[in-house]
């Protein structure tokens, strides 16, 4: 059987259009019910962190307040779309306190119908519509969740198609004809797509009574229908009350028929037309009018179940397969698709769901034989399509082969595997375990933004926080971590997370210049280390009185092996001071005097008028347990998911390199040694995070007086975002005029280190950044 339009394919190749055929824009929308730790539908409100339900373009509610809808932007590749949905799921999961995303299309444990919370909306029309749906279908049915797969062709490809194959019609009409052709074919062949993607075979006893009563159960807790792979796509699923038939011949006919159904009060609005494929417009405010005027912008495939076998409910393979299936529907010969054909398609749909594909196909024209035969033909033709048109299509051929295996071996299908696993456990345990495992995965990668791992961690966190509250973003210069965030008319251009419009250029220049920094800090009465450079002994001696009440270090400007360095405590004599300089001048013509800063160094992250976080860093180390060797302890410590290589993680692995080995040796340790319980073994002199150092959160332990000094330091430079490095003698006493010193203020402070410290709380610096840039959530 030859389903492909070979002539069309040949023409595409002749005109070199086959490359652009595979271009397209992909988007995903999916719903998940929120559940508590027992798998009961969560009756809590939609988390405030996600901002306005209607204005957040990424995270909304659907019918029920308990149903979270996640929406990706449209991307030019499946890869990006997939990753973004993963990121959305991570973002949402991290915000659910003690709740989980229910991974199945079929609902969790439901309360009585009237207790299912309808989404609280500000718009009274939106509330009214939901109540009408609730009355018409029951709330339980509305809780069936699924995935919408959005697809459009590359605009240039469509225009070339129009130029090449058009018959004088205008571009809009030509484009519509393409999308309507695909829709007709998709509806006709959807039985195959549902067969291959169906993943909702079992449902809970709290689901709609009528369906439960018709179902079969092994444990009287969950129910199923024999061979049924998708409850959601079944008669017990999400469908119009009775079958509705409209013309798919053209946008005009389609709009006309739908308007008639609305006028006949068969439908509340066009939105209630639950066709498995929906023809979508660009704006989406007034779909039918827009369809008539502007035509189809993209296709929405609505029959895809949430697949509990995958974290985000759909695998990349499935996404690629659906794409190929859509292209196949374009390249397949066209057929009439009137009411009769639509009824047959519905029959095939139900048959595939309920009985599988062993039976024979209900069809009139080209599709004959058993469904299985037809399914295999389709796969074969799709493989042919890839081979002809996609020169690098090997991966795609493998994907098609795997789908073929599912046709040949029904036990490989999603629904079969899920049902079989549920039968070894329970419906509830199975899905809850999945939900918790996926939530755990999200926590582990909480610091990163899936799909944006090439960006700096601070930028990843900022973008995730933006997405969470519905602020859209665009990477203007990805290599530079340069983004623009947009909320309504408010745009913010941001580089490297903390380089923003809230700091003035002069503020940055003040911080960048050490001389100027000291100047503005001193002027504000903030203590900074004193210092001077001397070119003669005479000059140096003349400055004695300036420094004799301080601890100082005297050192040649360039020093080798610490030669010529003297450190003095307060109260040194002029004679000793002179001797120290004489010694230092033996090593260099210029000798530096610097105030010797005692105490520990702390990084204060100042954001606006407050300190968002305080960190202290300690060199790479392990703590003995009396059992493991130093080497083993390092390996153990490196298992922390926050640690990794190359600045892609908040902390770096401790290395087992020469520098560490030398350091151990110099301190009379070695790799094979077993430190005693609680013994701290350092592996580095320096405390940099980049060499495995630990970051310790001191935000709650830092006395208020030092925090006030940090804020003052930022204000001295006029800074909104600023990292203040302060040496502090003793945290048990408040700041005095002598016991601290600000050694640096930094204009591009990292925020991720305060969100993911080695020890301590996430200080939400990303959120505070956005609060300052855009106002707090819901403002």
Contact positions vs a second copy (CB under 8 A):
476-477, 480, 482, 492-495, 499-510, 513, 515-516, 519-520, 718, 747
Between residues 306 and 494, which has the closer beta carbon with respect to a second copy? 494
Phi, psi of 370 (to 5 degrees): -75, 160
* Nearest one of 334, 375, 471 to 769, comparing CA atoms: 471
Sign for the pseudo-dihedral over CA of 102, 97, 774, 449 = negative
Q: How far is the CB of 610 from a second copy (least distance, A)?
A: 20
Between residues 515 and 677, which has the closer beta carbon with respect to a second copy? 515
In the Cβ-directed half-sphere of 344, how many Cα atoms lie within 13 Å?
Answer: 18
Q: How far is the CB of 582 from a second copy (least distance, A)?
A: 17
Q: How far is the CB of 703 from a second copy (least distance, A)?
A: 30
Residue 672 is encoded by which pair of tokens?
């094979």
Q: How far is the CB of 616 from a second copy (least distance, A)?
A: 28
3-state helix/strand/coil string of 237-277: CCCCCCCCCCCCCCHHHHHHHHHHHHHCCCCCCHHHCCCCE
Between residues 333 and 518, which has the closer beta carbon with respect to a second copy? 518
Q: How far is the CB of 156 from a second copy (least distance, A)?
A: 8
Q: How far is the CB of 45 from a second copy (least distance, A)?
A: 35
How far CA 356 is from CA of 156, 370, 400, 413, 495, in Å, comes to 40, 11, 19, 11, 54
CA pair distance 153, 151, nearest whole angstrom: 7
Q: Which residue in this structure is represented by tokens 């092994």?
A: 218
Between residues 178 and 516, which has the closer beta carbon with respect to a second copy? 516
Indicate the DSSP class of residue 312: T
- E strands along 78-181, which residues? 100-101, 146-153
CA pair distance 503, 351, nearest whole angstrom: 64
Q: How far is the CB of 58 from a second copy (least distance, A)?
A: 22
Residue 528 is encoded by which pair of tokens?
């900074």
Between residues 421 and 512, which has the closer beta carbon with respect to a second copy? 512
Between residues 125 and 515, which has the closer beta carbon with respect to a second copy? 515
Q: Is 47 helix (H, G, I), strand (E, B) or coil?
A: coil
Q: How far is the CB of 467 from a second copy (least distance, A)?
A: 20
- Chain centroid to Cα 403, Å, comes to 28
Q: How far is the CB of 196 from a second copy (least distance, A)?
A: 35
CA pair distance 430, 308, nearest whole angstrom: 9
Q: How far is the CB of 750 from a second copy (least distance, A)?
A: 16
How far CA 656 is from CA of 260, 510, 647, 665, 672, in Å, comes to 74, 40, 17, 13, 12
* Nearest one of 48, 20, 44 to 34, comparing CA atoms: 44
Between residues 7 and 477, which has the closer beta carbon with respect to a second copy? 477
**Helix (H), strand (E) at residue 603:** strand 600-607
| Inter-axis angle of helices 371-389 and 339-355, nearest 10 | 100
How far CA 545 is from CA of 6, 469, 550, 566, 574, in Å, comes to 96, 58, 10, 18, 9
Between residues 171 and 482, which has the closer beta carbon with respect to a second copy? 482
Q: How far is the CB of 720 from a second copy (least distance, A)?
A: 9
* Nearest one of 320, 284, 319, 282 to 298, comparing CA atoms: 282
Between residues 398 and 509, which has the closer beta carbon with respect to a second copy? 509
């Amino acid at each position: 059987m030859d389903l492909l339009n070979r002539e069309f394919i040949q023409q595409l190749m002749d005109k070199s259009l086959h490359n652009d055929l595979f271009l397209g824009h992909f988007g995903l929308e999916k719903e998940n019910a929120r559940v508590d730790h027992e798998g009961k539908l969560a009756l809590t409100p939609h988390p405030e962190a996600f901002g306005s339900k209607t204005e957040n373009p990424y995270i909304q509610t659907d019918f029920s307040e308990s149903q979270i809808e996640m929406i990706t932007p449209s991307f030019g590749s499946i890869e990006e779309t997939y990753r973004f949905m993963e990121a959305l799921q991570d973002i949402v999961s991290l915000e659910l306190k003690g709740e989980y995303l229910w991974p199945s299309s079929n609902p969790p444990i439901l309360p009585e119908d009237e207790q299912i919370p309808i989404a609280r909306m500000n718009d009274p029309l939106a509330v009214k519509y939901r109540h009408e749906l609730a009355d018409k279908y029951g709330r339980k049915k509305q809780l069936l969740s699924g995935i919408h797969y959005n697809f459009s062709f590359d605009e240039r490809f469509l225009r070339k198609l129009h130029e090449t194959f058009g018959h004088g019609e205008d571009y809009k009409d030509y484009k519509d004809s393409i999308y309507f052709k695909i829709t007709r074919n998709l509806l006709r062949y959807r039985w195959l797509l549902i067969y291959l993607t169906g993943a909702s075979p079992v449902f809970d006893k709290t689901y709609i009574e009528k369906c439960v009563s018709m179902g079969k159960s092994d444990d009287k807790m969950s129910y199923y229908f024999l061979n049924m792979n998708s409850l959601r796509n079944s008669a017990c699923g999400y469908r119009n009350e009775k079958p509705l038939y409209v013309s798919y011949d053209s946008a005009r006919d389609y709009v006309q028929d739908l308007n008639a159904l609305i006028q006949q009060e068969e439908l509340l609005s066009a939105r209630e037309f639950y066709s498995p494929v929906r023809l979508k417009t660009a704006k989406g405010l007034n779909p039918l009018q827009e369809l008539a005027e502007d035509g189809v912008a993209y296709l929405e495939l609505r029959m895809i179940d949430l697949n509990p076998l995958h974290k985000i409910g759909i695998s990349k393979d499935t996404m690629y397969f659906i794409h190929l299936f859509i292209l196949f529907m374009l390249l397949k010969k066209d057929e009439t698709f009137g009411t009769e054909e639509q009824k047959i398609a519905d029959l095939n749909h139900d048959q595939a769901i309920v009985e599988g594909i062993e039976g024979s196909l209900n069809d009139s024209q080209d599709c004959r034989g058993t469904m299985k035969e037809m399914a295999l033909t389709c796969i074969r033709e799709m493989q042919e399509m890839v081979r002809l048109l996609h020169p690098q299509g090997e991966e795609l051929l493998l994907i098609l082969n795997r789908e073929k295996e599912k046709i040949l071996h029904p036990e490989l299908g999603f629904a079969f595997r899920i049902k079989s696993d549920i039968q070894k456990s329970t419906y509830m345990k199975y899905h809850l375990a999945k939900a918790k495992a996926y939530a755990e995965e999200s926590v582990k990668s909480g610091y990163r933004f899936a799909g944006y791992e090439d960006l700096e961690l601070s930028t990843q966190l900022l973008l995730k926080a933006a997405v969470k509250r519905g602020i859209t973003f665009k990477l203007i210069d990805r290599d530079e971590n340069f983004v623009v965030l947009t909320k309504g008319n408010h745009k913010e251009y941001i580089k490297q997370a903390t380089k923003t419009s809230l700091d003035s250029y002069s503020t940055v220049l003040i911080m960048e210049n050490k001389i100027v920094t000291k100047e503005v800090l001193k002027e504000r009465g903030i203590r900074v280390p004193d210092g001077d450079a001397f070119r003669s002994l005479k000059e140096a001696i003349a400055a004695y009185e300036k420094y004799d009440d301080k601890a100082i270090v005297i050192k040649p400007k360039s020093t080798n092996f610490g030669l010529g360095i003297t450190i003095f405590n307060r109260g040194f004599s002029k004679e000793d001071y002179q001797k120290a300089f004489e010694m230092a001048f033996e090593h260099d013509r210029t000798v530096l005097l610097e105030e010797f800063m005692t105490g520990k160094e702390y990084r204060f992250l100042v954001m606006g008028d407050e300190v968002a976080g305080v960190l202290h860093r300690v060199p790479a180390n392990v703590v003995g347990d009396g059992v493991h060797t130093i080497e083993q302890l390092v390996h153990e410590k490196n298992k922390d998911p926050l640690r990794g290589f190359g600045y892609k993680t908040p902390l770096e692995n401790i290395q087992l390199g020469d520098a560490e080995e030398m350091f151990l040796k110099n301190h009379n340790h070695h790799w094979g040694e077993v430190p005693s319980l609680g013994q701290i073994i350092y592996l580095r002199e320096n405390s940099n995070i980049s060499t495995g150092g630990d970051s310790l959160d001191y935000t709650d332990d830092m006395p208020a007086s030092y925090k006030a000094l940090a804020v003052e330091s930022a204000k001295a430079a006029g800074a909104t975002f600023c990292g203040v490095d302060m040496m502090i003698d003793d945290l048990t006493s408040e700041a005095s005029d002598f016991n601290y010193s600000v050694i640096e203020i930094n204009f591009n402070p990292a925020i991720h280190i305060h969100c993911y410290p080695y020890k301590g709380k996430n200080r939400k610096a990303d959120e505070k950044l956005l609060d300052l840039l855009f106002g707090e959530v819901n403002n």
